[in-house]
Structure 1
């Protein structure tokens, strides 16, 4: 006669029948990899692109333990303003169009042109401005870890080497 164990197998061998536990990023490299994999899956993000003449378009694509992924849609001329990301670090990946980044560091100002595939990783305290200076729409993917809860605005007088928190 057959027993339950002989039919179902050894209960200690059950884990191979369960779905795998989802792996979540825990390092900067893994968050950058997550951003690249989502960016490569156009069918996942393209339906969320939303251009709005009054503000950048926002869509939360994904959340996980301690992080979130956002898609931003930028019309020509739209920008973020000079800001930091509070207590969050971030990965910015351009998926469509061209964005221009201006960053203020202790060594002064740097400027970058970001085209599809460009990726920027920054830690807490990083002060920057992102603008679509092109004549076409742009789309970017942002991974914030931990999830974004604040963005501190900054002001910078022309020619200044540092920024001050906006009042």
Structure 2
């Protein structure tokens, strides 16, 4: 029964899936249904605090992380009309909508990456994700996220490694810049 699935059970299954270091595609395929199940659980909904950092436009509530910063599980709460710049993660991830909609835009880096601090991006596509929808993210995918509604939206994020420990980047397509990016975690 999805409603009784606990964080402890979810983390135990994540550990089993990632043990032995299978390919990223295999991990994502197995984590996606587990993350959907936990996103629908009573425990997750009881842990959502909906606190947002006004400056960054969203709140990052870390629910679990291994001592070596792997297997990070977090709830992100997005302020209305706010979002992120294009960014990568430097790790695999699965995101599941919990409440509200999120608009994800996907980008491609078109320069060769040899100039420090410089990046050219091309916007590829856009998709709206609703509660229960899941997206699998490989380490090299670049996307941006927006909450275009008038209410806080919430999503469950599962990462192979805490995103503040991956050396990930944010991009400014207009200025053609790339810089390191970490987020404020509650």
Same fold judged by TM-score > 0.5?
yes
- The 1-side partners of 2:173 and 2:75 are apart by 27
List 4+ stretches of structure 1 deviating above 6 A.
Answer: none
- The 2-side partners of 1:82 and 1:74 are apart by 15
Q: Where does the alignment leave 5 or more consecutive residues of structure 2 unmatched?
A: 1-11, 19-26, 110-121, 181-186
- Would you say the 8 A contact 1:91–1:142 is kept in 2? yes
CA RMSD, aligned part only? 2.4
| Structure 1 partner of 2:50 | 50
TM-score (norm 2): 0.67
TM-score (norm 1): 0.73
Match of 1:76 among 68, 75, 80: 80
- Would you say the 8 A contact 2:105–2:123 is kept in 1? no
| Structure 2 partner of 1:165 | 178
Deviation at 1:95, TM superposition (A): 0.6
Q: Give SS of 2:50's match.
A: coil
- The 1-side partners of 2:178 and 2:50 are apart by 30
Indicate whether 1:96 and 2:96 are aligned: no
Q: Give SS of 2:65's match.
A: strand
Match of 2:71 among 67, 73, 78: 67
Q: Where does the alignment leave 5 or more consecutive residues of structure 1 unmatched?
A: 1-21
Considering only CA atoms, is the larger Rg found in Structure 1 or Structure 2? 1
| Structure 1 partner of 2:153 | 138
Q: Give SS of 1:112's match.
A: strand
How many corresponding residue pairs?
141
